[in-house]
Amino acid sequence: MKHKVNTGRFDGTRGARPVAAGSMTVGGTPAARPAAGGAAVDTTSAERRDWPAVGVVIPTRNRPELLRKALDAVRAQDYPGPLRVIVVFDQAEPDLQLATADHRPVLVLANWRQVGLAGARNTGIAALDTELVAFCDDDDVWHPSKLRRQVDALVRTPDAEFATCAIEVEFEGVGHPRLAGTDAVTVEHLARSRMSMLHSSGFLARREALLESGVIGPVSEDAPGSQNEDWDLLLRAARRHPIVHVDEPLVRVLWGRSSFYAYEYSTKISSLRWMMARHPEISGCRPGAARVYGQLACWSAAAGDKRQAWRWTRETVRNNWREPRAAIALAALTGAVKVETVLTALHRRGHGI
């Protein structure tokens, strides 16, 4: 069904004086210090006169309860500057009751671009007029200081165009922090590893860089099944400048069977091959290539395609015989274990294949 949508843009004010901040902690570390009069002052806010306007894009599809939690967490940010939200409904009827016009307005739109997650994000980017744009999936929740910490890190690096943060993976009610161990992410990092702690719900970028005419470009809408488009975006951003990273778990990411893509093995295979063709840096890094070939072997085995599973297992071992995904694929091929069983066990530890 076609939806009539408002393609107007938010009119974003570029700066705002920081508000007074009370005492709080982030990751167990105090983020405020006493001022001369005894009141707590946020030291990060006090050092910055103007905070850029930020627009947050939340794509959603048939998850109303999770969406409200994600939206509430975004609007509850302690960010001192202008903040607005666009909720983009993909393949679903927009819930116009979510729209608000208060100090942190919410605009509700239908995806007018390519069906899927990438098109929904690009719809939101195009409808904004803010200096910065951030993404949040409809089943994830931000820490209250997430945006402030990231914006501060990004603007302290004038040439940087993209920022990320670490995450806490929640699976079956248990949380697992995933840290990167660095404050700058390069192409070399991303060719060797997908770095799953760099989740799309932690992305923050200069909005103009993500436009059609931007230096990075929009989210790729031709990624098979809207998978791995976030890895692609990270690589394109890192080619321009190392990505600024706040290595604290400022986003809680929900893993589980609620994902629309959890067991779509053919799509996983297609998207990985799309990435290899698009980014020669991956095949040029033997450990990175082995990791992807190992994933292809596992997903092929899970899909019942033994011929391709054997092929990708051989490629994995040829590039890096220590790659553990080769062993998983071999175990699945011999019937010793199912890929789904391994995947569930890894998810319980906050990891994936």
Residues across the chain: 353
**Domain hosting residue 153, numbered range:** 51-255
Contacting residues for 28 by C-beta, under 8 A, at least 6 apart: none
Q: How confident is the model at residue 1 (pLDDT cuts 50, 70, 90)?
A: very low
Does residue 303 sit within a domain? yes
Residue 130 lies in a domain: yes
Q: Select from 208, 233, 255 the last residue of a domain.
A: 255
Select from 204, 237, 255 the last residue of a domain: 255
Tell whether 164 and 83 lie within a shared domain. Answer: yes
* pLDDT, position 266: 92
> Do residues 251 and 289 both lie within one domain?
no
Domain count, the chain: 2
User: Residue 247, SS3?
Assistant: strand
The pLDDT tens digits for 115-134 are: 999 999 999 999 999 999 99
Q: Is residue 1 part of a domain?
A: no
29, pLDDT greater than 80:
no
Lowest mean pLDDT among 84-88, 97-101, 250-254, 345-349: 345-349
pLDDT tens string 200-242: 999 999 999 999 999 999 999 999 988 999 999 999 999 999 9
**Are 210 and 331 in a shared domain?**
no
Mean pLDDT of 33-62: 66
Residue 28, in any domain of the structure: no
Helices (H) and strands (E) in the chain, counts: 12, 14
Domain boundary among 239, 255, 271: 255
Q: Do 141 and 213 share a domain, yes or no?
A: yes
Rounded distance between C-alpha atoms, residue 140 and residue 142, angstroms = 7
